[in-house]
């Protein structure tokens, strides 16, 4: 059983809302609000948003909605006469008050219906605002419920229920079992001025509606229950009592209300208040006619909670990103410092006398070039240069006798041996070259200009052997 | 907090505060950190490369310095007047005095070092005599360093050679 409900009345170009809370067996009016819907900018979805966001109505409460009277169609049928379709273009219709208007077999059947497309359009603002709309009905249903709840004394006789305010009147004719069998709605713009009231049109409409319902003139002492804003208009009551010879009874607002200093229901909020009461009442639990159609909005989402959760999640993500960014920067800085100190350490160890350090690599390269130049000046005196005697011994050892090679001239300087040799065939020089290549520390061997001498028939050639820059 | 404001104004204020916080965090923290990280990503590989180059260069410089130090240790403080007599004595000891023709030349190597180069021309000697003489010359205690060697087979005899040996030593230039 819901603890809180909101009744919404869209009639008379206004939105009227009442929030009712259950406290034990009694009810408390928590909030009441109304807003005009005349302008195009007064869209129902915006008004509902304002209702929740600005007026503080509980979005989790069950909503009961009375649709504007102008959108509804009433089908009347008797046992022998099927009801004519109110819509000529065969629109798909949805009956909305079937379960509310109970009836017996003798009564004419009254069905309130609305084009399905229009009904879905009316429910769309609730879907957009994720509000739980449980009851959707005509304005007649809450008035009838109010009559049944507040005036159980009016039984076993037909009654007229009049809901009147400045702009329009709603006439309900109920049979002996208090089933509504005829509804009539018409505008009455001159009723609002109490000084110069013209109730003739209203009187005429009541008579005609009664006539249409029972096919007879209005009986005397028929109870007429007046609700709405003009329920307190004594002049109107006198006129109606005189003209129609009816027993005028004011239909009071909800009973069982806890006194609330903040909000009290006036007659303009009567339909909205009764709607909220219907949503809370256990009697109407089985009358929540929207459940079967599955057109109620989804379970309301706690936007604030989601917003807070999203904000916290986003904040955590941002914090983690920032933290990882700064941590990464810290690690990279450490790595860079380490590399820098290693470079500096190597430089200072190698060149301890250097005091001005700008670019370690360039300065080190410069120093290496200077040393190399200085070393080149001394040439053969360096330890890295080969001793000519060692090269001569090496050459002698690596020229096997079976190669038939006779060296005629040899020049040894630095790391190079240049020689002239004589052999008997062309193969020997290249065999010797191949042999040299297989020796360690050889940087290069080249045979230059091998030629056979015409007179001696011997092959002479020149060769150059280059050693690596290591000590020999 | 924010009492006296409507819900809309409170929300607007919160959104503005959030935006300002985000902008400040981005301007003061994220953007400088990202820029610094980009710089570090660019600089660290360069520094790594520098370190490798420095390691190689350091070894090279140390080696060159060691060689140069070794040469400097061999530089005599002044001209050695005993070198030529000692050389002639060695030639005589190897029976090469007659076959050798010795010439001496002095040239500056650097600002404060002078080289005394001695060229010996051998005519018609055996290769064994030459090797023995050069081995003797290479021995310890001799300031002379063999610079280059040129050997040519004798035209008339296969067992004889003509050889040219260049040797020398370094000494400090007299001030």
pLDDT digits (tens, 9 = 90+) for A119-139: 888 888 888 888 888 888 888
Cα separations in angstroms, A374 against A14, A230, A378, A381: 105, 121, 7, 12
The full DSSP string for A36-72 is E--STT--HHHHHHHHHHTT---TTSEEEEEPPGGG-
| A364: nearest CB among B36, B47, B61 | B61
DSSP tag of B98: T
Task: For Cα atoms A234, A238, A241, give the angle at the middle one, nearest 5 degrees.
Answer: 135
Number of A/B CB contacts below 8 angstroms equals: 148
For residue A37, pLDDT beyond 80? yes
- Its pTM surpasses 0.80: no
DSSP tag of A103: -
3-state secondary structure A258-283: CCCCCCCCCHHHHHHHHHHHHHHCHH
- In B86-105, the residues whose Cβ lies within 8 Å of chain A are none
- pLDDT value for B28: 93
How much of chain A, in percent, has pLDDT values that exceed 70?
A: 82
- For strands A62-66 and A4-9, give the pairing: parallel
ipTM: 0.76
B33/A326 touch (CB, cutoff 8 Å), yes or no: yes
- pLDDT value for A427: 85
The arithmetic mean of pLDDT across residues A370-380, rounded, is 84
* Residue that wins the pLDDT comparison between A230 and A435: A435
Residue A32 near residue A20, CB atoms below 8 Å: no
Task: Name the residue among B166, B66, B56 with its Cα closest to residue B117.
Answer: B166
- For strands B145-153 and B160-172, give the pairing: antiparallel
User: 């820098």: which residue's tokens?
Assistant: A340
- Cα-Cα-Cα-Cα dihedral sign, residues B143, B149, B155, B159: positive
pLDDT, chain A, mean: 80
Q: Encoding tokens for residue A34?
A: 């109304």
- For strands B100-108 and A14-23, give the pairing: unpaired
For residue A143, pLDDT beyond 50? yes
How far apart are the C-alpha atoms of B37 and A332, rounded to whole Å? Answer: 7
Most B CBs within 10 A among A338, A347, A389, A391, hence the mutation to make, goes to: A389
- pLDDT value for A297: 45
| B40: nearest CB among A332, A408, A411 | A332
Residues in chain B closer than 8 A to A377 (CB atoms) = 109-110
Burial B56-84 (b: 16+ CB within 10 A, else e): ebbebbeebbebbeebeeebeeeeeeebe
The arithmetic mean of pLDDT across residues A232-247, rounded, is 82
Numbers of helices and strands, H then E, in chain A? 10, 17
Task: Tell whether B12 lies on the interface with A, counting CB pairs under 8 A.
Answer: no
Residues in chain B closer than 8 A to A364 (CB atoms) = 53-54, 57-58, 61
**Helix, strand, coil % over all residues of chain A, rounded to 5:** 40, 25, 35
- In B28-87, the residues whose Cβ lies within 8 Å of chain A are 29-30, 33-34, 36-37, 40-41, 43-44, 47-48, 50-51, 53-55, 57-58, 60-62, 64-65, 67-68, 70-71, 74
* Chain centroid offset of residue A414 CA: 83
How far apart are the C-alpha atoms of B100 and A217, rounded to whole Å? Answer: 168
- SS3 assignment, position A76: strand
- SS3 assignment, position A404: coil
Confidence of residue A471 (pLDDT cuts 50, 70, 90): very low
- pLDDT value for A259: 64
* Residue that wins the pLDDT comparison between A39 and A194: A39
Q: Encoding tokens for residue A156?
A: 């076993």
B68/A371 touch (CB, cutoff 8 Å), yes or no: yes
A343 → chain B, closest CA residue: B51
How far apart are the C-alpha atoms of A146 and A28, rounded to whole Å? Answer: 17
- pLDDT value for B156: 84
Nearest CA distance, A423 vs chain B (angstrom) = 15
Residues in chain B closer than 8 A to A408 (CB atoms) = 152-153
The arithmetic mean of pLDDT across residues A22-40, rounded, is 83
What is the C-alpha end-to-end distance of chain B, expressed in Å?
A: 92
Q: Can you give the C-alpha Rg of chain A in angstroms?
A: 55
Most A CBs within 10 A among B9, B115, B142, B153, hence the mutation to make, goes to: B153
Cα separations in angstroms, A412 against A419, A441, A444, B109, B116: 9, 16, 15, 22, 20
For residue A299, pLDDT beyond 60? no
Least confident of A227-241, A311-325, B80-94, B104-118: A227-241
How far apart are the C-alpha atoms of B131 and A420, rounded to whole Å? Answer: 20
* Residue that wins the pLDDT comparison between B60 and A197: B60
* pLDDT (tens digit per residue) in A182-199: 788 777 655 555 555 567
- pLDDT value for A233: 78
How much of chain A, in percent, has pLDDT values that exceed 90?
A: 15
Residues in chain A closer than 8 A to B6 (CB atoms) = 54
Residue A273 near residue A255, CB atoms below 8 Å: no
B147 → chain A, closest CA residue: A380
Cα separations in angstroms, A247 against A237, A240, A253: 10, 9, 19
- pLDDT value for A300: 60
Residue B61 near residue A365, CB atoms below 8 Å: no
Most A CBs within 10 A among B28, B57, B152, hence the mutation to make, goes to: B57
A377/B110 touch (CB, cutoff 8 Å), yes or no: yes
- pLDDT value for A348: 93
- SS3 assignment, position A422: strand
- pLDDT value for A1: 55
Least confident of A37-51, A148-162, A277-291, A351-365: A277-291
The arithmetic mean of pLDDT across residues B130-145, rounded, is 82
Confidence of residue A270 (pLDDT cuts 50, 70, 90): confident
User: 């140390």: which residue's tokens?
Assistant: B62
- SS3 assignment, position A7: strand
- pLDDT value for A194: 53
The arithmetic mean of pLDDT across residues A160-179, rounded, is 76
Numbers of helices and strands, H then E, in chain B? 4, 4
Task: Name the residue among B30, B24, B17, B31 with its Cα closest to residue A322.
Answer: B30
The full DSSP string for A217-249 is PPPTT-EEEEESGGGG-HHHHHHHHHHH--EEE
Give the full edge-to-edge strand order of the sheet including A62-66.
A26-36, A14-23, A4-9, A62-66, A132-137
For residue A396, pLDDT beyond 90? no
How far apart are the C-alpha atoms of A43 and B25, rounded to whole Å? Answer: 41
How far apart are the C-alpha atoms of A57 and A6, rounded to whole Å? Answer: 8
Residues in chain B closer than 8 A to A367 (CB atoms) = 61
* pLDDT (tens digit per residue) in B12-57: 998 999 899 999 989 999 999 999 999 999 999 999 999 999 999 9
Residues in chain A closer than 8 A to B147 (CB atoms) = 379-380, 388, 413
A413/B40 touch (CB, cutoff 8 Å), yes or no: no
Q: Which long-range contacts (CB under 8 A, 24 or more apart) does A145-149 make?
A: A145/A100, A145/A274, A145/A277, A145/A278, A145/A284, A146/A227, A146/A251, A146/A253, A146/A254, A146/A270, A146/A274, A147/A174, A147/A178, A147/A225, A147/A251, A148/A178, A149/A254, A149/A255, A149/A277
């Amino acid at each position: 059983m819901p603890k809180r409900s909101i009744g919404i009345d869209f009639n008379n170009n206004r939105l009227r809302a009442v929030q009712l809370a259950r406290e034990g067996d009694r009810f408390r009016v928590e909030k009441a609000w109304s807003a005009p819907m005349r302008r195009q900018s007064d869209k129902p979805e915006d008004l509902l948003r304002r209702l929740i966001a600005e007026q503080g109505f509980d979005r989790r409460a069950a909503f009961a909605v009375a649709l504007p009277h102008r959108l509804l169609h009433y089908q009347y049928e008797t046992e022998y006469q099927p009801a004519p379709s109110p819509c000529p273009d065969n629109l798909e219709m949805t009956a909305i008050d079937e379960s509310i208007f109970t009836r017996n077999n003798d009564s004419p059947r009254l069905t309130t219906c609305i084009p399905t497309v229009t009904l879905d359009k009316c429910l769309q603002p609730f879907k957009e605002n994720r509000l739980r709309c449980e009851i959707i009905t005509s304005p007649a249903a809450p008035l009838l419920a109010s009559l049944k709840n507040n005036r159980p004394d009016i039984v076993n006789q037909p009654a007229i229920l009049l809901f009147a305010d400045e702009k329009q009147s709603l006439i309900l004719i109920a049979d002996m079992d208090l089933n509504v069998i005829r509804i009539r709605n018409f505008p009455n713009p001159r009723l609002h001025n109490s000084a110069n009231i013209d109730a003739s049109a209203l009187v005429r409409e009541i008579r005609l509606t009664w006539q249409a319902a029972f096919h007879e003139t209005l009986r005397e002492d028929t109870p007429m229950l007046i609700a709405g804003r003009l329920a307190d208009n004594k002049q109107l009551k006198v006129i109606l009592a005189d003209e129609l010879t009816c027993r005028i009874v004011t239909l009071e607002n909800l009973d069982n209300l806890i006194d609330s200093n903040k909000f009290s229901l006036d007659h303009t909020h009567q339909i909205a208040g009764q709607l909220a009461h219907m949503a809370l009442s256990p009697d109407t639990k089985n009358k929540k006619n929207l459940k079967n159609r599955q057109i109620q909005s989804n379970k309301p989402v706690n936007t604030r909670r989601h917003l807070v959760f999203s904000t916290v999640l986003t904040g955590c993500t941002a914090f983690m990103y920032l933290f990882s960014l700064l941590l990464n920067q810290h690690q990279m800085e450490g790595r860079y410092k380490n590399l820098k100190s290693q470079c500096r350490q190597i430089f200072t160890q190698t060149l301890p006398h250097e005091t001005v350090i700008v670019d370690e690599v360039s300065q080190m390269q410069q120093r290496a070039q200077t040393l190399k130049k200085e070393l080149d000046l001394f040439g053969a005196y360096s330890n890295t240069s080969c001793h000519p005697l060692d090269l001569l011994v090496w050459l002698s050892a690596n020229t096997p006798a079976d190669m038939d090679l006779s060296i005629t001239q040899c020049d040894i300087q630095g790391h190079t041996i240049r020689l002239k040799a004589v052999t008997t065939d062309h193969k020997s020089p290249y065999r010797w070259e191949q042999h040299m290549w297989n020796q360690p520390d050889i940087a290069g061997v080249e045979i230059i200009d091998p030629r056979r001498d015409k007179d001696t028939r011997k092959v002479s050639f020149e060769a150059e052997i280059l050693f690596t820059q290591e000590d020999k | 907090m924010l009492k006296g404001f409507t819900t809309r104004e409170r929300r607007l204020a919160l959104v503005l505060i959030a935006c300002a916080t985000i902008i400040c965090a981005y301007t003061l923290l994220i953007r400088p950190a990202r820029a610094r990280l980009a710089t570090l990503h660019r600089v660290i590989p360069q520094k790594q490369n520098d370190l490798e180059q420095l390691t190689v260069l350091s070894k090279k410089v140390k080696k060159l310095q060691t060689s140069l130090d070794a040469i400097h240790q061999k530089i005599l403080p002044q001209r050695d007047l005993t070198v030529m007599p000692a050389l002639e004595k060695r030639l005589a000891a190897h029976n090469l005095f007659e076959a050798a023709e010795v010439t001496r030349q002095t040239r500056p190597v650097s600002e404060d070092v002078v080289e005394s180069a001695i060229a010996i021309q051998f005519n018609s000697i055996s290769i064994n005599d030459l090797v023995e003489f050069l081995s003797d010359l290479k021995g310890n205690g001799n300031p002379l360093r063999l610079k280059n060697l040129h050997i040519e087979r004798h035209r008339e005899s296969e067992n004889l050679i003509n050889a040219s040996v260049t040797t020398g030593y370094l000494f400090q230039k007299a001030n």
